[in-house]
Amino acid sequence: MTSPMTSSDNLLLLTLNVNGEEHEVITEPRRTLVDVLRHDLRLTGTHVGCEHGICGACTVLVDDRPARACLMFAAQAEGARIRTVESLADPATGELGDLQRSFTEHHGLQCGFCTPGFLMLADGFLAERPEATKEEIREVVAANLCRCTGYQTIVEAIDSCATARRAACAKTCTTIEETACS
Ligand code: FES
Ligand code: FES
């Protein structure tokens, strides 16, 4: 007679790199990345909406690219660099990052449920396309759902942050007589 399978037969030990720190997690193979982030690591800034890859509330960066954390198993993220919305603020002071401040200044959020997903979507996108036009930003934010803002203020917030980053970059380059970030 075979012995019944115990829960420990079905557990994995994962090492996940989240926001620059290594975390060991014991979990079932079928658990999603978003559940492990929220429930095991207590990083509840990442939200869960549809759990079907539609709304984008669960967007995080996986190796710098936006990904739906509800569509990934946590095990699939082992070995990757994961970044959540908690990484945007200054870890020492808690001061909001420039993208977060821009959302606040441009009223890019109302209820805020979608906001972590939009922030990570925008952060990943601007890292890849710092010269993005407003039209490109508009296309990118269409990947996520917001039922409150009408999107215009989100586009304004991302565009304003991108503009400020370019200005700061150009100033730095002028100062050190380089053009690496232009
Ligand atoms: S909760 Fe992941 S896309 Fe909606
Ligand atoms: S601010 Fe409420 S869903 Fe986007």
Does 128 score more than 50 pLDDT? yes
Listing DSSP states for 140-182 in one string gives HHTTS--SSS-SHHHHHHHHHHHHHHHHHHHHHHHHHT--TT-
Q: Which residues line ligand 2 (CB under 6 A)?
A: 109-114, 146-149
Looking at the CA of residue 109, tell me the nearest atom of ligand 2: 1
Looking at the CA of residue 56, tell me the nearest atom of ligand 1: 3
Name the band, by pLDDT with cuts 50, 70 and 90, for residue 172.
confident
Quote the ligand 1 centre to 92 CA distance (angstroms): 30
* Angle CA 151–55–138, to nearest 5: 30
Does 2 score more than 60 pLDDT? no
Please report the pLDDT score of residue 171 as a whole number. Answer: 77
Looking at the CA of residue 47, tell me the nearest atom of ligand 1: 1
- For the chain, percent of residues with pLDDT exceeding 90: 86
Please report the pLDDT score of residue 177 as a whole number. Answer: 55
Quote the ligand 2 centre to 153 CA distance (angstroms): 11
What mean pLDDT do residues 130-152 have? 98
Please report the pLDDT score of residue 175 as a whole number. Answer: 61
Looking at the CA of residue 48, tell me the nearest atom of ligand 1: 1
Going by alpha carbons, the residue nearest to atom 4 of ligand 2 is 146
Q: What domains does the chain contain, in order, with CATH numbers? A: 11-87 (3.10.20.30), 95-182 (1.10.150.120)
Q: What is the pTM of this model?
A: 0.90
Q: Which residues line ligand 1 (CB under 6 A)?
A: 48-51, 53-58, 68, 70
Whose tokens are 């001061």? That residue is 95
Going by alpha carbons, the residue nearest to atom 3 of ligand 1 is 53
Please report the pLDDT score of residue 9 as a whole number. Answer: 66
* Beta-strand relationship, 12-18 and 21-27: antiparallel
Higher pLDDT, 122 or 7: 122
